[in-house]
Every structure is written in C-alpha cells, then in structure tokens.
Amino acid sequence: MDFDAAFIGSGAGGYYSALRLLKRKKKVLIIEKEKFGGECLNYGCIPSKALIELSEGIEYLKDMPGVSMNYSIDMKEWQKWKQSVVTRITGGAEKLCLSLGAKIVYGKGSIKDRNTVTVNGTDYSAENIIIDTGSVPVKINGIDDVYYNREILAMENIPEKLVIIGGGYIGIEMGTAFRKLGSDVYIVEMKDRILPEIEEDLAREVDKKLRKLGVKIMTGSRVQSVKKNGKYTVAIEGSESMEADTVLMSVGRVPNTADTGIEKLGIQMDGKFIHTDGHKRTSVPNIYAIGDVSGGPMLAHKAFYDGYVAAENILGNDTVVDYRALPFVVYTDPEIAFTGKSGAKYNKVPVLANPRSLTMNQKEGFFKIYYDDDGSITGAGVAAPRSSESITEISLAVESGLSIDDLFLTIHPHPTVSEGLKDAAERND
C-alpha cells in the first residue's frame, strides 16, 4: 500500500485528522479539489468572523453615548487583510502537514475500490480512506446568479440593500454584520421564526436586537422568484416585491457526495448523508466519513472531533463518538451559544445582572443552566457577549458530570462575562 490513510478533502475534519496520523508516523495522502482547509477556513467560519468583528467594532462605537465619529471602510483593502488572515491559517495547516510528510494532491479524488483512490487519472492505494467532502449550499432552480456564503464574504463593497433568503445562522450572522456596516437588510424566513433550529428563547434575544438595529424580518414568508436585471427583484408570496442590489441565499446546506465514487462501493447512506457507526466507519470498515458529509450538525468543531475519532481507530485505539456536549454558537448580537441538553429544570440569570456585560454596553441576553434532579449540569443556553468562549465551561461540566454546586464553588474572576454562569449555578433554596 502507498499510504496508511488517504483523505478526500482537506477541510476542518480532514486536515485535523491527517495531522493526528502524521504526528504518529503514518503515511498520509490528502486530496483537495480547491483550497487547502476547505469551506470553514476559506469561505466560512474564519472570514465570517473577521467580518463580524469589524461590524461589531463599528457598532460598539456608534452606539456608545458621547462618542461621535466619521469613518469610512475601504472593503477592497479590508478583503486583502482578510485574505491574508485566511492564508496564514490555511497555509500554516498545509505547511505543517507537508513538514510531517504528507503528500498533498490537488484534484478531484474519487474512490475506485476499497483500497484505491484516483486523482487526476493516477491511482493511489491506501489501507484506509477518509471521506471529508463537506457540504454545499442548497441552490434552488430558477434562482440564479445570487450570492451564497462564498460570494457575500468576498464582497468589495457594502451593499445598500441586502435581501437575505433564509433566516438560519448564516443568514442571521451576515444580516447582523451588514446591518451594522450600514446596509438596509431584509431577512425572509419561511418558518414562523428566525433561527428555527435553535432554542426559542435564544433566538428571541437575537430577533429583538435585530429589530432594534432596524433589520426587517419577514417570517412565515416564501420567496416566489428572484430576477436579476441590473438590480434584483425579489417576489414574495402575498406581499409586494422588493428591489435589492444584493441577494444572499442561505436556505441550508447539503452534504457533498458528488463524484466521490461511494455509490460504486454501495456504501450505506442516511438519506443524502453517508451512514457511519460510532467509530465513524462507513458500511465498508476501512472507509471512514467525517464532518458535514457524515450527518449531524454541520459544525467545524464536530468535524475536528469526528476526525480525531477516525484517526484513533485507524491508529488501533478503539474509540467512538460521544456528542453529549456538542456546542454550537451563532455569532449574532447578542452572541448565542448552546451545549448539552435542555430540560425542565434550570436557573436563568439576565445579562443585565452581569457587570462586565454592562461595561461593554451590552444589556440583552441571559445565562441559563440546565441540570437534573441530583444537580448534575446537563447543558446551557447563553445569549451574552462572547458566549462562544464561556460555553466551554459548561461543556466541560457536562463531559465530566459536574454539578451546579461544583460550578458555583469554582472561583470566577471579577468582572467577567462568565461570572453570569457562576451566578446561574447558584441554588435558590
């Protein structure tokens, strides 16, 4: 065999898993059809966070009493800087893989048989194959030439009027950011609320703030057509059509299994996803699938974790996934985060009672910890500044079976946002 492991896709799960194997002296092939690092690093999490950070900085000053400012943004310059950040991260990951002995081949990889992958007409044999082909945005027939996550994050100007179709986390994050950067933002969501996949009380905080910022939210609304003739015309069922200079389609993502060759091997599917067992093995035992393509929430940190589990099993260390505390974050205002499981028993403390948040001029949101009858923490929902950072405290508690008393008795620095979690861990009796 040429390789111990061949990765199809160098996204978050793939390169992370590859590194784990490379550090343990395994021979690794990484096949990438576009850019090293995949969607998250190049077109998703990383660039979007850069944009959101910019918008929050501006909004913070604009909103601060007593501060007045004139500013201008040269988006071309900003894009260059953003690209340098992305390249630093992707380039760093790629160089590290190479320095540890990986072979990286650019091209479309497909599985020929259970031990062979083909790229650019060349066959490579491998003991194990890991499919990490990620996901692609849902595209709707008849709605062409609109913006998706990749295009919107590459914009070299700030749109005047931005219509976002789909009020999921991508649409809401982008809507918040561009509104703060000055766009007139409309969000069209089919369901009766935004962020339908997220706990209602968390979503409500975001909805409130978006309306305060002047974002127009149309829930229970269905887009009929999008036409482009210089400007876009968006027709909405039962309501007047809108003109816009930019339309973002963010109605979900689907696993990307096109041309991977999995159908030739008869690999078992779960709908459009590749079926995997707890070891992240597909129905062909030496072929693994990780990340978005393997089902479950489409999150980079889930892909990392899947990649770890697959690598351990390839290394001969029997390991299975255990998603008991799989966090997710939406970088909105307030930032919302959730981990573990909700339940009937919880304590909730408002952000208004958190001194550090007030010094940041943040008043919306809450800290909510769920626990079971013996006080063991089962999960948390947080809508507060930097909740993406503090949620891990709760994940660790869930992973370790800690109780609210353990959390409460842990000294938290003052003043911090995470103190809100400590306060929510205090028993009321």
Partner 1 sequence: MYTVSLPPIGEGIQEGEIVKWNVKPGDTVKKDDELVEVMTDKITVKIPSPVAGKIVKTLVSEGETAMIGDAILEIDSPDESNSPTGEKNVEPAPKQEVSINTDEKISNVKATPAVRAYARSKNVDLLKVKPSSPDGRITKEDIDSFTSQKPVEAPKPASVAHEGDEIITPTGIRKIIFDKMTKSKQIIPHFTITDFIDTNNIEKSIKQYAGKRYLSFTAFFVKAVSAAFKDFPKLNAVYNENNKTYTIKKTYNIGVAVDSPTGLTVVVVRDVASKSIFQISDEIKDMAERARTGKLQLQDVQGSTFSVTNIGSIGGIMATPIINYPEVAILEVNSRTSAFVNGELKQGLYLTLACDHRLIDGAEAARFLGRLKEVLEYPLLYIGD
Q: Please pick, from the candidates 1, 138, 320, 409, the single residue that binds partner 1 as defined by CB under 8 A.
A: 320
Q: Is 55 or 294 the residue whose CB approaches partner 1 more closely? A: 294
Q: Is 159 or 379 the residue whose CB approaches partner 1 more closely? A: 379
Region of 37-45, 54-62, 181-189, 322-330 interacting with partner 1 (CB under 8 A): 322-330
Closest CA to 387 of 367, 373, 402: 367
Q: Please pick, from the candidates 317, 411, 413, 414, the single residue that binds partner 1 as defined by CB under 8 A.
A: 317
Binding residues with partner 1: total (CB under 8 A): 40
CB atoms closer than 10 angstroms to residue 298: 21
Q: Please pick, from the candidates 151, 399, 423, 426, the single residue that binds partner 1 as defined by CB under 8 A.
A: 399
Q: Smallest distance from the beta carbon of 304 to partner 1, in angstroms?
A: 14
150, 303 contact by CB (below 8 A): no
Residues in contact with 181: Cβ distance below 8 Å, sequence separation at least 6, in sequence order? 54, 55, 58, 73, 158
Backbone phi and psi for residue 176, each to the nearest 5 degrees, phi listed first: -60, -45
Q: Max Cα separation, the chain? A: 70
Q: Please pick, from the candidates 118, 286, 319, 410, the single residue that binds partner 1 as defined by CB under 8 A.
A: 319
Q: Smallest distance from the beta carbon of 12 to partner 1, in angstroms?
A: 17
Per-residue contact track with partner 1, 185 to 214, x per CB under 8 A?
A: -------------xxxx-------------
Q: Is 216 or 341 the residue whose CB approaches partner 1 more closely? A: 341
Q: How many CA atoms lie within 13 A of 424 on its CB side?
A: 31
Q: Please pick, from the candidates 110, 125, 241, 376, the single residue that binds partner 1 as defined by CB under 8 A.
A: 376
Q: Smallest distance from the beta carbon of 231 to partner 1, in angstroms?
A: 39
CA-CA distance, 324 to 321, in Å (whole number)?
9
Could you say whether residue 415 binds partner 1 (CB under 8 A)?
no
Could you say whether residue 388 binds partner 1 (CB under 8 A)?
no
Q: Please pick, from the candidates 17, 347, 387, 390, the single residue that binds partner 1 as defined by CB under 8 A.
A: 347
Annotated catalytic residue 414: yes
Per-residue contact track with partner 1, 212 to 251, x per CB under 8 A?
A: ----------------------------------------
Closest CA to 218 of 201, 237, 232: 237
Q: Smallest distance from the beta carbon of 382 to partner 1, in angstroms?
A: 13
Torsion sign across C-alpha atoms 298, 301, 307, 308: negative
Q: Please pick, from the candidates 167, 291, 295, 365, the single residue that binds partner 1 as defined by CB under 8 A.
A: 295
CA-CA distance, 262 to 114, in Å (whole number)?
10
Per-residue contact track with partner 1, 263 to 292, x per CB under 8 A?
A: -------x-----xxxx-------------
Q: Smallest distance from the beta carbon of 366 to partner 1, in angstroms?
A: 13
Per-residue contact track with partner 1, 64 to 93, x per CB under 8 A?
A: ------------------------------
Q: Is 224 or 400 the residue whose CB approaches partner 1 more closely? A: 400
Q: Is 82 or 281 the residue whose CB approaches partner 1 more closely? A: 281
Could you say whether residue 318 binds partner 1 (CB under 8 A)?
yes
Q: Please pick, from the candidates 259, 345, 361, 415, the single residue that binds partner 1 as defined by CB under 8 A.
A: 345
Q: Is 223 or 330 the residue whose CB approaches partner 1 more closely? A: 330
The catalytic site residues sit at 414
Contact residues: partner 1, CB under 8 A: 198-201, 270, 276-279, 295-297, 317-324, 326, 328, 338, 341-348, 373, 376, 379, 381, 399-401, 403, 428
